[in-house]
A = this chain, B = another copy of it.
Amino acid sequence: MKSSKTRPATKVTLGMVAEHSGVSPSTVSRILNGTAVVSQEKKDAVDRAIAELGFVPNPIARVLAGGRSLSVGVVTQAIDSPYYGVALRGIEEVLDAAGYVPLFASGHWNAKEEQRCIDTLRARRVDGLIVLTGRLSDEALRKLGKELPVVVTGRNLKASGLYSLNFNDFEGARLATHHLLSQGHRKIAFISGDPVHPDAQERLRGYRAALEAAGVKYKPALVLPGMFHEESGLMAVERLIDSREPFTAIFAANDQMAFGASLALYRRGLRVPDDVSIVGFDDLAGAAHSIPPLTTIHQAGLELGRCAAQALLDLLADRKPTAQLPEPRLIIRSSTRGA
Spell out A's residues near B (CB within 8 Å). Answer: 7, 56, 58-61, 63-64, 71, 78-82, 85-86, 88-89, 92, 101-106, 119-120, 123-125, 230, 234, 259-260, 262-263, 266, 285-286, 288-293
Q: Tell me which of A60, A82, A259 has the highest count of chain B C-beta atoms within 10 A of its own C-beta.
A: A60
Which residues of the other chain, B, contact A64 by a CB distance below 8 angstroms?
58, 60-61, 64
Closest 3 CB pairs of A and B: A80-B85, A230-B289, A80-B89
Nearest B residue (CB) for A116? B96
Which residues of the other chain, B, contact A59 by a CB distance below 8 angstroms?
123-124
A88-B92 contact, Cβ under 8 Å, with A290-B291, A291-B291: no
In the assembled complex, the Cα of A120 lies from the Cα of B102 at a distance in Å of: 11
Q: Is B263 a contact partner of A293 (Cβ separation < 8 A)?
A: yes
Give A67 Cβ to nearest chain B Cβ, in Å. 11
Which residues of the other chain, B, contact A263 by a CB distance below 8 angstroms?
289-291, 293
In the assembled complex, the Cα of A60 lies from the Cα of B123 at a distance in Å of: 8
Which residues of the other chain, B, contact A262 by a CB distance below 8 angstroms?
291
Which residues of the other chain, B, contact A86 by a CB distance below 8 angstroms?
80
Q: Is B78 a contact partner of A89 (Cβ separation < 8 A)?
A: yes
A266-B291 contact, Cβ under 8 Å, with A85-B80, A92-B106: yes
Nearest B residue (CB) for A79? B88
In the assembled complex, the Cα of A290 lies from the Cα of B56 at a distance in Å of: 49
In the assembled complex, the Cα of A123 lies from the Cα of B55 at a distance in Å of: 11
Which residues of the other chain, B, contact A92 by a CB distance below 8 angstroms?
79, 106
Nearest B residue (CB) for A71? B124
Q: Is B289 a contact partner of A234 (Cβ separation < 8 A)?
A: yes
Give A282 Cβ to nearest chain B Cβ, in Å. 13
In the assembled complex, the Cα of A4 lies from the Cα of B302 at a distance in Å of: 40
Give A300 Cβ to nearest chain B Cβ, in Å. 13
Say which residue of B58, B61, B82, B106 sits within 8 Å of A82 (CB atoms): B82
Say which residue of B58, B119, B234, B266 sits within 8 Å of A123 (CB atoms): B58
Q: Is B120 a contact partner of A101 (Cβ separation < 8 A)?
A: yes
In the assembled complex, the Cα of A7 lies from the Cα of B115 at a distance in Å of: 10
In the assembled complex, the Cα of A86 lies from the Cα of B81 at a distance in Å of: 9
Which residues of the other chain, B, contact A230 by a CB distance below 8 angstroms?
286, 288-289
Which residues of the other chain, B, contact A266 by a CB distance below 8 angstroms?
291-292
Q: Is A119 a contact partner of B89 (Cβ separation < 8 A)?
A: no
Give A133 Cβ to nearest chain B Cβ, in Å. 16
Give A17 Cβ to nearest chain B Cβ, in Å. 16
In the assembled complex, the Cα of A266 lies from the Cα of B334 at a distance in Å of: 12
Apart from the given pairs A56-B119, A230-B289, 16 other A-B contacts in the complex at a CB distance below 8 Å: A7-B119, A56-B123, A59-B123, A60-B123, A60-B125, A61-B64, A78-B89, A79-B89, A80-B88, A80-B285, A82-B285, A89-B106, A101-B120, A230-B288, A234-B289, A259-B286
In the assembled complex, the Cα of A230 lies from the Cα of B287 at a distance in Å of: 11
Would you list 12 pairs from A and B whose C-beta atoms are within 8 A, ordered by A residue? A60-B123, A61-B64, A79-B85, A79-B92, A80-B86, A80-B88, A82-B82, A92-B106, A101-B124, A230-B286, A230-B289, A260-B289
